[in-house]
Amino acid sequence: MPISASIQTMKEFEGELDKISPGKLIDKEKLKDFDSFFLVLGLIYNDLKDLMLLYDLFIESYPTPKLDGTAPASVSAGQWGGVQNHFNRLMIGFISEFLTFLEKNKDVMSTPSFKFFEKRLQKEVRESWYDILRVINNEKTDDFLSEIARIRSTITFHYDHQLKALRSGFIKKFFTTPKNNYNDKAYYSLGDTMRKTRFYYCDGAAEEYLNEHMKSFSEDNHNKEIRHLVDQTNKTLRFMMENYLNYKINQKN
C-alpha cells in the first residue's frame, strides 16, 4: 500500500482551536525583538512537532530489525538503520540550530519580561530550560546536551563541513572496526525508483562518525538520550509559549 494511502486511514489531528488578535502578537508599526523572538520560538516548536510526527510514523510503520551485526545484511535492515540514523542527525541538527538561535538572542532572554516568563514555568520545565542556558553559556560540559553542542555543524545539516568528517567515519566503519555482517562489504541498492535505491555505506559512515563523537554514550543510550532531549525541549517550548500567549491575551491595548 502506498504511504499516502496508509496515512489517509489514520485518525484526524487532535486539538482545540483558539484565537488571538494578530495585533496583540506583532506591532506592525514598531519592531519589538521580544515578540519576534516568540514568533520564532513558536515555529521552532512546530518544526520539532513535525519531525517527531514523521519519526513516530516511521517507527509504527516498519518493524525494528536486529542491528547488532550478527544478523545477515539485508535491504530492510539497511533501510531501517539508515532512516533511524538520519532521524538522529536531524534531531541533533534541530537542537543545534535551536541552541544557535538562543545564543544570538541572549539580549532578549535577559530582559525583565522574559525573566518573568522563566519564573512562571513549572519547576521541572524551568530546570530543563536552565540546562539549555548553561550549555549556551559554556557552563556545562559533561552531559548529553553538551555533546550535541560540540558536534554541531559537522554531521547534521551542513554538507559543506562533511568532507573530512564523513571520510573519517567511513574509514573507522570499514577499516578499523572489527568485521561483522554489516561492514565486511560496502553495501548499496540501485533500483529503478528512489524507494528501492539507497547507499548504505554512506549511512554507515555517518553513523560511525556520530558514534565516535558521542562515545561517552552507547549507541542504544544516545538513541534514547536524543529522544529524551527532544521531549524535554518540546515540553519547555510548549509551556514558554503558553505563558507568552496568556500574557498577550490579558494585555491591555
| pLDDT tens profile 144-198 | 666 676 666 555 556 766 788 889 889 999 999 999 999 999 999 999 999 999 9
Residues 6+ apart with CB under 8 A from 79: 62, 198
Which among 119, 142, 129 has a CA at the least distance from the CA of 41? 129
Q: pLDDT confidence of 1, banded at 50, 70, 90?
A: very low
Distance CA(78)–CA(122), nearest Å, equals: 42
- Grid coordinates given for 197: 535505491
Q: pLDDT confidence of 89, banded at 50, 70, 90?
A: confident
Residue percentage of the chain with pLDDT more than 70: 83
Distance CA(243)–CA(126), nearest Å, equals: 12
Cα four-point dihedral sign 195, 199, 204, 206: negative
Which among 55, 87, 211, 234 has a CA at the least distance from the CA of 156? 87
Residue 82: CB atoms within 10 A of its CB come to 19
Alpha helices in 106-198 (DSSP H): 106-109, 112-119, 123-136, 144-151, 162-171
Distance CA(174)–CA(184), nearest Å, equals: 7
Contact (Cβ atoms closer than 8 angstroms) between residue 25 and residue 248:
yes
pLDDT at position 11 is 72
Q: At residue 224, what is the residue type?
A: K
Q: Largest Cα–Cα distance in the chain? A: 68
Residues 6+ apart with CB under 8 A from 154: 161, 162, 165, 209, 213
Distance CA(251)–CA(135), nearest Å, equals: 33
pTM summary value: 0.83
Distance CA(163)–CA(64), nearest Å, equals: 31
9 or 95: which leads in pLDDT = 95
